[in-house]
Amino acid sequence: MTSATLLPSAGDAGAVAREAAPAASGVRGRAWATTLAAVGRRLVGAVVVLWASVTVAFVALQLAPGSAIDALVPPTQRTPEAVAAVTAEWGLDRPVVQQYVDYLTRLLHGDLGTSYQLHRPVTDVIVSELGPTLQLAAAGLAVALVLAVLLAVSTAGRPWASRIANGVELTVVSVPEFWLGIVLLFVFSFSLGWFPVAGANGLASLVLPATALGLGLVGLVSQVLREGVERSLEQPYTLSVRARGVSETALRVRHSLRHASLPVVTLLGWLVGGLLGGVIIVEQVFGRPGIGVVALQAAQGRDLPVVLGVALLSALVYVVVNTAVDLLALVIDPRLRTGGRA
């Protein structure tokens, strides 16, 4: 038998290719279906969490001591006209089920009610103060991530440096944000005069609040990153990377840091929760405008529509960020699309 007879002909190769094409197409189709199913599960979960948050807010209003009028209208604003307006707006003269349906309908249209203390729609009150809060939260998150990356990359795999970093991180995490903010103000504003004491005018007024907010998040993020980088440095691929003459710093930044990023991505939901809690304190310490100041003033003045609006906004932000993180994790790690199966 000659070697020519052992080789497939052009016709045979074409037949094999035609048979393999539907199989490959089927594999791609199943992969897309699995991915869409995973995305759908997360989106449905997000909608359920939002609905539960709205329902809890409505139930809390119904269970508040006294009548709904007592909860919604501050005593100083409780005039016959105000009571009539609240009754008409919230449908308090209708059955509870109808009130609930009307409440959901109004929320779907972006209507959060009216602040009877400020005499403005709650949506306008929140939107007018949302910019400074988003600016502070983004800056605080940036500070936390930058410092965490620097600490993790520089100390991973170095026992003495890791021990020092762990001690510093534990100390910073243990310090309350308001106390840290006061120390930063005393040193850099009152003593050195480098930064303004209060306000939200320009980049200089953002440095100290963002630092106070971000330092509280650095500890956990840097520890997670350091552990991921250390595990990555123990992988066999690092030998071939070093053999190509890549420097240790480039190995950590270009390769190990990327492999260690997935746990930090899943932590973003927790980070947002920490930011939402810390921003209220930091805005008060540094005298910045924002949602935190609005929420505190509304709570002190018993302006329940504003309190509910801020709570629902916080739930919306938390759900949206966690859903985005879950979807991003699906992109980074395809195994999550199939429940961990290879």
The CATH number of whichever domain residue 149 belongs to comes to 1.10.3720.10
Let me know if residue 84 belongs to a domain: no
* Cα–Cα dist 232/186, whole Å: 42
In angstroms, the first-to-last Cα distance of the chain is: 43
Let me know if residue 308 belongs to a domain: yes
Predicted pLDDT at 126: 86
Residues of the chain with pLDDT under 50: 1, 3-7, 13, 16-17, 20-21, 23-24, 27, 340-342
Predicted pLDDT at 335: 58
Let me know if residue 32 belongs to a domain: no
At residue 30's C-alpha, the angle toward residues 25 and 35, to 5°, is 125
Predicted pLDDT at 24: 47
Let me know if residue 73 belongs to a domain: no
Let me know if residue 150 belongs to a domain: yes
What's this model's pTM, rounded to 2 decimal places? Answer: 0.69
* 199-217 core/surface letters (b: 16 or more CB in 10 A; e: else): ebeeeebbbbbbbbbbbbb
Predicted pLDDT at 17: 46
User: What's the one-letter identity of residue 153?
Assistant: V
Task: Write out pLDDT tens, residues 254-264.
Answer: 667 676 777 77
Q: Which residue has the tokens 């080789």?
A: 7
Residue 337: DSSP 8-state:
G
Q: Which residue has the tokens 């985005």?
A: 324
Name the E strands within 89-179: 114-115, 120-121
Predicted pLDDT at 20: 46
What's the structural domain count of the chain? 1
Let me know if residue 90 belongs to a domain: no
Predicted pLDDT at 333: 59
Domain with 313, as residue range(s), is 115-336
Let me know if residue 190 belongs to a domain: yes
Predicted pLDDT at 314: 80
Judged by DSSP in three states, 97 sits in helix
Which residues lie closer than 8 Å to 80 by C-beta, 6 or more apart? none
Task: Write out pLDDT tens, residues 159-210.
Answer: 787 788 777 777 777 777 778 888 888 888 888 888 887 777 778 888 888 8
